[in-house]
C-alpha cells in the first residue's frame, strides 16, 4: 500500500518480454532485517490524525458525489440520467474502494497505535460496504502468513492441472474469458465470502459468516459474531431506506457503487498475485520471505492515488503489513535496490493485464526437468492439451 496523494513508483521501462521474465525462485541473498534497515525509521510510525485525514477526505468526496446524484440527476432531460448514473457508479465506486483500503489497513493494525481504535474504524467502514470486518481480517492475516504457498495460502490459490475442470478447455477462448472475467468481477467477492470460492480448500464447508467454520479458531469466534452483527445492522438500514425511498433508489445510490468496489477489490487482488513471472511453492520449497516476494506491483494510473496506492506498493505491503499506507511509497523506493530482481513491477494497463492473465495463467505446473528443486516450484501456464 502506498501514500495517497503521492506519485506512483515510476515504471522501470521494461519491455513486455522483460516484464514476463520469471522472478528468481531461489532463497534470497538478503534477510527481512536487511530489507527493514534500508527503510527510513519514520516509515513505520503511525499517526492517528494523518490516518483520519484520509478517511475524512474520502468521505467528503463520496458525500459530494452523493449530493450531486440525488439532487440534480432527476432534473436532467431524458435520456441523460441513463448516462449520468453509470458515471456516478464508476466514480463513487472508485472513491469507496479507497475507503475499503483504509478499513483494510485497520485490519493490519496500520491505522494507528491503538488496536481498539483500528478495529472500531475498520468495523464501521467495512460494515458499511457489507464486508465482515473481523472475519476477513483473520483470513487475510493468514493469507499474509502463507502467501505463495499452494498448501496454505487463503485466496486466489492457483489450481494445478489435476484440479482443472473438464470444461476449462471449452472456455479457453475470448468469449469464455469474457464470461469468466464478468462472473469473477461481479460475483467473485460475495462468492468468496459466502462459499470460499477461490479460497484455500478446507476439509468441510468454509464461510466467512460462520463463527464455527474451519477458517477460525476458538479465540476468534466472538469477533465473527460481531462482524455478522455489523453486516446485519447495515442490511437492516438498507432495508429501511428501501422502504422509505424505494428499492430503485437504494440500488442506484448504493448498489451500483458497491458493485464497482467489489469488482476492483477482486481485480486488484487477482492482479497482485497472478502473473506469468510469479512462482508458487509447495511445502518443500516455500518459506515466508520467498512467498512474500511472490507478488507484483501494478500501475492503475490516476487510480493509484484514489486507491491510496495499494496497487503499486503491494510488495512492500506484504513485507511490512503494519506500515501505514502513506509511508509505503517511500519504503518501496528504499527497498527496490535491495530486492533487485526479486522486486516485480508490471506497468501494463490493468485492463490489458486482466485479459492477458486470464489467458496465460490457467493453472500452475513445475518445470519438466530432472532438477529435484524445481519440482517444488510452480509456474503459470495455459497448456490444456
pLDDT grade for 19, boundaries at 50, 70 and 90: confident
pLDDT of residue 222: 97
d(CA 28, CA 11): 23
pLDDT of residue 269: 97
pLDDT of residue 373: 59
Domain ranges for the chain: 27-99+148-199+247-381
pLDDT of residue 165: 87
d(CA 227, CA 130): 10
* 45-59, 151-165, 341-355: least confident range: 151-165
Q: What is the 3-class SS of 99-145, one letter each residue?
A: HHHHHHHHHCCCCCCCHHHHHHHHHHHHHHCCCCHHHHHHHHHHHHH
**Is the pLDDT at 16 greater than 80, yes or no?**
no
**Is the pLDDT at 5 greater than 50, yes or no?**
no
Average pLDDT over residues 115-128: 98
pLDDT tens for 219-258 read: 999 999 999 999 999 999 999 999 999 999 999 999 999 9
What the block records as the C-alpha cell of 284 is 518443500
Tell me the percentage of the chain whose pLDDT exceeds 90.
87
pLDDT of residue 368: 77
d(CA 373, CA 367): 10
What the block records as the C-alpha cell of 124 is 464501521
User: What is the pLDDT of the chain when averaged over all its residues?
Assistant: 93
**136 Cβ contact partners less than 8 Å away, ≥ 6 residues apart:** 107, 126, 193, 208, 227
Amino acid at each position: 500500500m502506498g501514500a495517497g496523494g503521492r506519485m506512483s513508483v515510476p515504471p522501470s521501462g521494461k519491455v513486455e518480454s522483460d516484464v514476463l521474465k520469471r522472478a528468481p525462485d531461489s532463497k534470497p541473498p538478503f534477510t527481512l532485517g536487511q530489507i527493514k534497515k534500508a527503510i527510513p525509521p519514520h516509515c513505520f510510525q503511525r499517526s492517528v490524525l494523518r490516518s483520519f485525514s484520509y478517511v475524512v477526505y474520502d468521505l467528503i468526496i463520496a458525500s459530494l458525489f452523493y449530493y450531486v446524484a440525488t439532487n440534480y440527476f432527476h432534473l436532467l432531460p431524458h435520456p441523460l440520467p441513463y448516462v449520468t448514473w453509470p458515471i456516478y457508479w464508476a466514480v463513487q465506486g472508485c472513491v469507496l474502494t479507497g475507503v475499503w483500503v483504509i478499513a483494510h489497513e485497520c485490519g493490519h493494525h496500520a491505522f494507528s497505535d491503538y488496536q481498539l481504535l483500528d478495529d472500531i474504524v475498520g468495523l464501521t467502514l467495512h460494515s458499511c460496504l457489507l464486508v465482515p470486518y473481523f472475519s476477513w481480517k483473520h483470513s487475510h492475516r493468514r493469507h499474509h502468513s502463507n502467501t505463495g504457498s499452494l498448501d496454505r495460502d487463503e485466496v486466489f490459490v492457483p489450481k494445478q492441472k489435476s484440479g482443472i475442470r473438464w470444461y476449462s478447455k471449452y472456455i479457453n477462448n475470448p468469449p469464455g474469458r469474457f464470461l469468466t472475467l464478468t462472473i469473477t468481477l461481479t460475483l467473485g467477492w460475495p462468492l468468496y465470502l459466502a462459499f470460499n470460492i477461490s479460497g484455500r480448500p478446507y476439509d468441510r464447508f468454509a464461510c466467512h459468516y460462520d463463527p464455527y467454520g474451519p477458517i477460525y479458531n476458538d479465540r476468534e469466534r466472538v469477533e465473527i459474531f460481531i462482524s455478522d452483527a455489523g453486516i446485519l445492522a447495515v442490511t437492516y438500514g438498507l432495508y429501511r431506506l428501501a422502504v422509505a425511498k424505494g428499492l430503485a433508489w437504494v440500488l442506484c445510490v448504493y448498489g451500483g457503487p458497491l458493485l464497482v468496489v467489489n469488482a476492483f477489490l477482486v481485480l486488484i487482488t487477482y492482479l497482485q498475485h497472478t502473473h506469468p513471472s510469479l512462482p508458487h511453492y509447495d511445502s518443500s520449497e516455500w518459506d515466508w520471505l520467498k512467498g512474500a516476494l511472490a507478488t507484483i506491483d501494478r500501475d492503475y494510473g490516476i487510480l493509484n492515488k484514489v486507491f491510496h496506492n495499494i496497487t503499486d506498493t503491494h510488495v512492500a505491503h506484504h513485507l511490512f503489513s503494519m506500515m501505514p499506507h502513506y509511508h509505503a511509497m517511500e519504503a518501496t523506493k528504499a527497498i527496490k535496490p535491495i530486492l533487485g530482481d526479486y522486486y516485480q513491477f508490471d506497468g501494463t494497463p490493468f485492463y490489458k493485464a486482466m485479459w492477458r492473465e486470464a489467458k496465460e495463467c490457467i493453472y500452475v505446473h513445475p518445470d519438466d526437468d530432472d532438477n529435484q528443486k524445481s519440482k517444488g516450484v510452480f509456474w503459470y501456464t495455459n497448456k490444456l492439451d
